[in-house]
Structure 1
Amino acid sequence: MIRALLVDDEEHALNLLDILLGRMEGVEVVGKSSNPLEAVSACKQLKPNVVFLDIEMPKMSGMQLLEHLKQEHDELHAVFVTAYNQYAIAAFEQEATDYLLKPIEVQRLNKTVARLQRELSRNAATATADSSPDQTGKALLQIRCFGGFDVFNKQNEKLIWRTAKDKELFTFLTLHGKNGVSRDTILDTLWEAEDYQKAKMYLHTCISNLRRNLKSIGFADVIEYSDGKYRLNRDRVQIDFLQFKQELEKISLKTDDGLDKAEQLLAHYNSPLLPDCDYFWLEIERSAFEKNVLETRLRLATSLFANELFKRAASVSQLALKQHPYSEEASRILMQCYHKTGEHDAVFHTYHSLVQSLNELAIQPSSVTTKLYQEITTDQK
């Protein structure tokens, strides 16, 4: 059933549309308003699933009204009814279901109603699938950030990116959306060079694309909007990056069990974070995370060495050097481990590999590293 709210500042046009829709089967006009500001509160009270609205209205245009309504009623379908055809492209950019020109022709309105009924039927079928046992409980949307960026359900159906900006927006919400991200923060970050009104339209288009495609794989409720902020529903997603960060924060190196758990956790981090995402804002997050992992590996290697677990300390140091070939601290720990286990050639190789790596940056090893190498080689003699 179509539950329609009609908005038009021209009383005659409003009443005519009311009469035409009232004659059609499967359509109920739940309310009408000649004031767009009143339509906002009417939408909350009447809960229509379709809004027919004029574009050129005083105080608030139909485009602006739809933008406002969609923030709280994302599933709302829209049909623009106007005397001007120059708005057609902008209307469909706002995900309007249809665009009618005045004076309205009954035959054309019938096609619009049929289109709306098909859209609503598809939405109802998807909503039913969403509520099935297979899509609730432990069925979480999987978001994989290591080695690439993939979003998929338990049937391994992947989220399709309609545009590159859809992917960037979802990536941004994945990393920053725990407590919600304000609309303006998103606009300033992802559309900083765009006009504010255009940027808002692009954002809402991306949100609509994402919600539609998420619904197709059974997760219509993942993106939430409230208090002026967008967020991912963390009860419906499982994000490998966030799980790893949480475990990393819990690491304690004061006990044998803590050392074991830390070593196991860090051994699993062997893929870069979002290597296929080249976003300027991501570099801050990525660099901070990489630094945290490297520092934790170095602390772990130092603790293992202090506990005379030289082989394990060497293994952790090697992983640190694989992550950051220019780390002098990792090289120093590794040289000391090889010295303790009598692997003299490995000491030589480690030092000269470091020298070669640093030469790429046109720098030399620090005096601390050079002195340590000289002491070890002297002791070996």
Structure 2
Amino acid sequence: MITALLADDEEHALSLLELLLHQTGEVKVIGRCGNGIDALEQVGLLKPDVAFLDIEMPGMNGLEVAERLGSSVSATQIVFVTAYDRYAVSAFENDALDYLLKPLEVDRLNRTVGRVKRAVAHRRTEDREAAVVRTAAASETSAEPQVQLLGEVQVSVEGRGRLKWRTSKEKELFAYLAVHYGSRIHRDVLLDELWPDEHYQKAKVYLHTCVSYLRRDLRHLGLEDAVVYEDEKYSLSAPLERSDYREFVEAAAGLLPPGSVNAERLERTVNLYSGRLFRSEDYQWADDEIRHTETAIEAQLLRLAQLYEGEGDFGRMIAAGRRLLQHSPYNEEAYRILMKGYAGSGKHDEVYRVYGEMGRRLDELQIQASDMTLSLYEGLKVRKKS
């Protein structure tokens, strides 16, 4: 039997819904209330399987109640009830939410009850599986989550597997919170960044759904209270704010000023960089972060190549120059590094080849090599002849 809480500011609407639910033989109503504030409190006390929430209620409407519930560890499923189609009810058509239009239709209500039954059964199965994970985790050495943002977006815990994203927006929400580590992001900022073209109320439902998914999926990895919500702001718990992106950014920042840098420290930093931030994703809001990390890795590789040149280690100088060229294929400085590295190694044919490769690249941009590069090339040719 499914347990239900009903919230509607119209008494007759509550009585009709309770009667129709009773007639299904599948639902037991354990609470009724006439406003959103009481609904939020009653869900916390009664912990019903499902809450039927009228959207238009005084004080706190049904959408706001759903948002608060989605930001907690509540297992309660949500069904919206509305007399108005203006809320674009298609927004509620997903695995976590459903909707009913007034006046209520028995057939539609029966379909909703069936849907809720499946969702509740699925949730109970997930809870049992998560409990097994938590029990196993309690008997093991504490394992920290591994968060990868450079390259592919991934979250894993050793011995417990890797998170499987239910939707692309769940992944994007996690990526946004993770890359803004140390910050608490206001709900409205998330709505503007992740759903810029959606109606405000519909976007709030989408956010509520993504937060619910994310909390649930991270619990399967033994990570409790993973998404923090306070004062309408979201953030990740401290263990999830540690990522390869954060490690690289902070390591790169720690290499300032340049005089305190040695090759070993630079090598450790550039080896943290495993690929472009969010490589397979097209997150418009991430443009600044992507440029920052690309600029940082190029600067570190350039400094590393210069240190190798000073040490006369031309093999590693060439390797650093090649890696720099992978990030910035039109970077003249990378070609100059390679030419000097090959010349220092006595591989003058490679100097000519690199110069020709650079010329073809710059032709694509319809520009010519700088005087600095031409002067270097001529000087290297003279050294070979002598």
Q: Same fold (TM over 0.5)?
A: yes
Query: What corresponds to 2:175 in structure 1?
Result: 171
> In 2, Cα distance between the equivalents of 1:329 and 1:239?
31
Query: What corresponds to 1:344 in structure 2?
Result: 348
Q: AA paired with 1:96? A: L
Q: 2:228 aligns with which of 221, 224, 227?
A: 224
> In 2, Cα distance between the equivalents of 1:316 and 1:42?
62
Query: What corresponds to 1:96 in structure 2?
Result: 97
Q: AA paired with 2:96? A: E
Give the drift of 1:291: 0.9
> In 2, Cα distance between the equivalents of 1:108 and 1:198?
22
Query: What corresponds to 2:75 in structure 1?
Result: 75
Please identify, of 294-303 and 36-45, the stretch whose mean Cα deviation from structure 2 is larger: 36-45
> In 1, Cα distance between the equivalents of 2:250 and 2:361?
32
Query: What corresponds to 1:129 in structure 2?
Result: 132
Question: What secondary structure, in the 3-state scheme, does the structure 1 residue paired with 2:306 have?
Answer: helix
Q: AA paired with 1:313? A: M
Query: What corresponds to 1:331 in structure 2?
Result: 335
Please identify, of 157-166 and 47-56, the stretch whose mean Cα deviation from structure 2 is larger: 47-56
Give the drift of 1:66: 2.6
Relative to the length of structure 2, the TM-score reads 0.78
> In 2, Cα distance between the equivalents of 1:151 and 1:113?
29
Q: AA paired with 1:65? A: V
> In 1, Cα distance between the equivalents of 2:12 and 2:340?
88
Q: 1:371 aligns with which of 349, 358, 375?
A: 375
Query: What corresponds to 2:186 in structure 1?
Result: 182
Q: AA paired with 2:10? A: E
Matched positions, count: 381
Q: AA paired with 1:311? A: G
The answer to whether the 8 A contact 2:71-2:228 is kept is no
Query: Structure 2 matches for 1:27-38, cutoff 5 A?
Result: 32-38=32-38
Give the drift of 1:234: 3.2
> In 2, Cα distance between the equivalents of 1:236 and 1:354?
43
Query: What corresponds to 1:62 in structure 2?
Result: 62
Q: AA paired with 1:134? A: A
Percent of counterpart pairs with the same letter?
Answer: 36
Q: AA paired with 2:51? A: V
The answer to whether the 8 A contact 1:94-1:205 is kept is no
Question: What secondary structure, in the 3-state scheme, does the structure 1 residue paired with 2:308 have?
Answer: helix
Structure 1 pair 83–332 and aligned structure 2 pair: CA distance change class (3 A): closer
Query: What corresponds to 1:118 in structure 2?
Result: 121
Query: What corresponds to 2:51 in structure 1?
Result: 51
Q: 2:304 aligns with which of 300, 304, 310?
A: 300
Give the drift of 1:316: 1.6
1:66-94 C-alpha deviation (Å, 9 max, x unpaired): 33443345533334567899997555559
The answer to whether the 8 A contact 1:177-1:230 is kept is no
Structure 1 pair 73–51 and aligned structure 2 pair: CA distance change class (3 A): farther
The answer to whether the 8 A contact 1:63-1:91 is kept is no
Query: Structure 2 matches for 1:241-320, cutoff 5 A?
Result: 241-251=245-255, 258-267=262-271, 269=273, 271-320=275-324
The answer to whether the 8 A contact 1:144-1:240 is kept is yes
Give the drift of 1:298: 0.8
1:266-318 C-alpha deviation (Å, 9 max, x unpaired): 25646333321122223322122111111111112212222333333232222
Structure 1 pair 96–192 and aligned structure 2 pair: CA distance change class (3 A): closer
Runs of 5+ unmatched residues, structure 2: none
The answer to whether the 8 A contact 1:98-1:112 is kept is no
Q: AA paired with 1:7? A: A
The answer to whether the 8 A contact 2:77-2:120 is kept is no
Structure 1 pair 329–210 and aligned structure 2 pair: CA distance change class (3 A): same
> In 2, Cα distance between the equivalents of 1:370 and 1:113?
72
The answer to whether the 8 A contact 1:251-1:258 is kept is no
Q: AA paired with 2:199? A: D
Relative to the length of structure 1, the TM-score reads 0.79
